[in-house]
Amino acid sequence: MKSYFTLNTLIFCITVICSSSCKTTNQKLNKKDTVVNVFDSLDYDIALAYDYNGEGGDDIIDTKGRLANRIYKSAELTSTQVKRITDIFCSKETYDKHASVAACFDPHFGVVLYKADTVVAFVSVCLDCNYLHSSIEISEATAFSHLGTRNIIEFEKNIGF
Q: Is residue 41 part of a domain?
A: no
Domain shared by 106 and 27, yes or no:
no
CA distance 27 to 13: 21
Cα–Cα nearest to 40, from 95, 83, 91: 83
Domain shared by 150 and 91, yes or no:
yes
Domain shared by 1 and 76, yes or no:
no
Q: Which domain holds residue 21?
A: 1-34
pTM to 2 decimals?
0.78
Query: What is the pLDDT, as a whole number, of residue 140?
Result: 86
* pLDDT tens column, 11-53: 333 333 344 333 333 333 344 455 799 999 999 999 999 999 9
Average pLDDT, the chain: 84
Domain shared by 51 and 29, yes or no:
no
CA distance 77 to 159: 8
CA distance 39 to 152: 17
